[in-house]
């Protein structure tokens, strides 16, 4: 895994991590975004924390809410998810960026 960026929430309880998988000779995978607790156990798989396809985490607002925006292309979309401002994602309230 190659971490591209980490952004810690203002209250320092969560962080946004963007990363790619190093596929060796095949280069790198698409970018993934996760919202995890800052004290996250690195031995735990990130699968349950990945933001749904079609969205990416951008930043934090002053209320410790994650700012999320629509993102494309949509890779591997098994299930279509529609996030709205006020929804909870990985224990954090979502603000959809217009």
Q: Enumerate the β-bridge partners of residue 89.
A: 92
- Where do the domains of the chain lie? 2-96
Q: Tell me: the pLDDT tens digits for 69-96?
A: 998 766 666 677 889 999 999 999 999 9
Other CB atoms within a 10 A radius of the CB of residue 46 amount to: 14
Q: Tell me: the pLDDT tens digits for 25-76?
A: 667 678 899 999 999 998 888 888 999 888 999 999 999 999 999 987 666 6
Q: Enumerate the β-bridge partners of residue 59.
A: 67
Query: Which of 43, 45, 49 lies closest to 18, judged by CA?
Result: 49
The phi and psi torsions of 66 (rounded to 5 degrees) equal -85, 135
For the four alpha carbons of 66, 67, 73 and 78, in that order, the dihedral sign comes to positive
């Amino acid at each position: 895994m190659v971490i591209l960026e980490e952004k810690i929430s203002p209250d320092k309880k969560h962080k946004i991590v963007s990363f790619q998988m190093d596929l060796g000779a095949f280069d790198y995978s698409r970018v993934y975004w996760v919202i995890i607790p800052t004290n996250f156990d690195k031995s735990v798989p990130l699968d349950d924390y990945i933001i749904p396809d079609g969205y990416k985490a951008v930043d934090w607002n002053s209320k410790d809410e994650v700012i999320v925006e629509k993102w494309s292309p949509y890779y591997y979309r098994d299930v279509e998810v529609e996030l709205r401002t006020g929804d909870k994602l990985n224990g954090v309230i979502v603000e959809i960026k217009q």
